[in-house]
Amino acid sequence: MLTKKQHELICFINDSLNESGVSPSFEEMKEALDLKSKSGVHRLISALEERGFLRRLPNRARALEVLKMPERADAKAAKPAPQPSTSSTFAGKTPPAPANDVIEIPLHGRIAAGVPIEAMEGATMLPVPAALLGSGEHYALEVSGDSMVEKGILDGDYALIRRTETARDGDIVVALIDENEATLKTFYREGSMVRLDPANRSYDPQRYSARQVRVQGKLAGLLRRY
């Protein structure tokens, strides 16, 4: 069963798709549901995805597909988005292209993908496509070094980090070591120790006592500028 807000959102998205062929922007969804911030919209969309009602289309920040509708809303059952053709509403016209919703998140300096260096050197804002972020609070770090290249994380990339203080084995995390230096590595527990693995055969794993390491977030995505 969906919550009231989840039900309102899926109906709003479905109506927009049926009327215009494109999903509403995050700002439009926020205003329609009388939410205080777009993060609330992200949480609702993530919940609807998990329940199989919605799907985000890849490489298109604003594009959403309604997979099914709640039983109580049979009258508004999901319909395929109109396709341009000679008989459609868009005959003779170019359908409106989905706009990219962008969220600004704090950019906290540089982080090592090699030997740990200082992170959190201050904060500017980095615009990020909303589709790259899920639920929760996020920040960005500029990657310095090459120890994570085998995971596709390159020097100069922007690592998008979801704030959390917990991690499971195999998670790529921002690990703060001795409350002083931070590094981006794959996290593993070894009894009372923590192992931070690089993704480059030229580097050795780093091992610390658990009390030396504090998880500050998990990798949620990457931005790369060419």
Cβ neighbours around 90 below 10 Å, total = 16
Which residues are 176's β-sheet partners? Answer: 182, 214
Mean pLDDT over residues 36-56, rounded?
Answer: 80
Q: What is the Cα–Cα distance from 27 to 100, expressed in whole angstroms?
A: 11
pLDDT of residue 81: 46
Q: Where in the chain is the domain with CATH 1.10.10.10?
A: 4-76
Q: What is the Cα–Cα distance from 102 to 26, expressed in whole angstroms?
A: 9
Weakest mean pLDDT among 13-17, 159-163, 189-193:
13-17
Weakest mean pLDDT among 50-64, 85-99, 161-175:
85-99
Distance from the Cα of residue 162 to its chain's centroid: 8
Mean pLDDT for the chain? 79
**153 exposed, middle or buried (CB, 10 Å; 0-12, 13-18, 19+)?**
buried
Tokens matching residue 204: 């050795």
Catalytic residues: 147, 185
Quick one: pLDDT band at residue 50, thresholds 50, 70, 90? confident
pLDDT of residue 106: 86
Q: What is the Cα–Cα distance from 196 to 193, expressed in whole angstroms?
A: 10
Write the class of the CATH domain 4-76. Answer: mainly alpha
Measured N-to-C along each axis, helices 4-20 and 38-50 cross at an angle, to the nearest 10 degrees, of 90
pLDDT, tens digit (0-9, with 9 covering 90-100), for 148-164: 999 999 999 999 999 99
Instruction: Find the helix or strand (DSSP H, E) in which 187 lies.
Output: strand 181-190
**Which of residues 115 and 139 earns the better pLDDT score?**
139
* Whether the Cβ atoms of residue 182 and residue 172 lie closer than 8 Å to each other: no
pTM higher than the cut 0.85: no
Domain with residues 102-223, CATH architecture: Ribbon (2.10)
pLDDT, tens digit (0-9, with 9 covering 90-100), for 106-137: 888 788 766 554 455 555 888 888 777 878 88
Q: Where in the chain is the domain with CATH 2.10.109.10?
A: 102-223
Q: What is the Cα–Cα distance from 84 to 136, expressed in whole angstroms?
A: 37
**Which of residues 104 and 112 earns the better pLDDT score?**
104
Sequence-distant (≥ 6) Cβ neighbours of residue 16 within 8 angstroms: 22, 23, 24, 28
Tokens matching residue 169: 């084995």
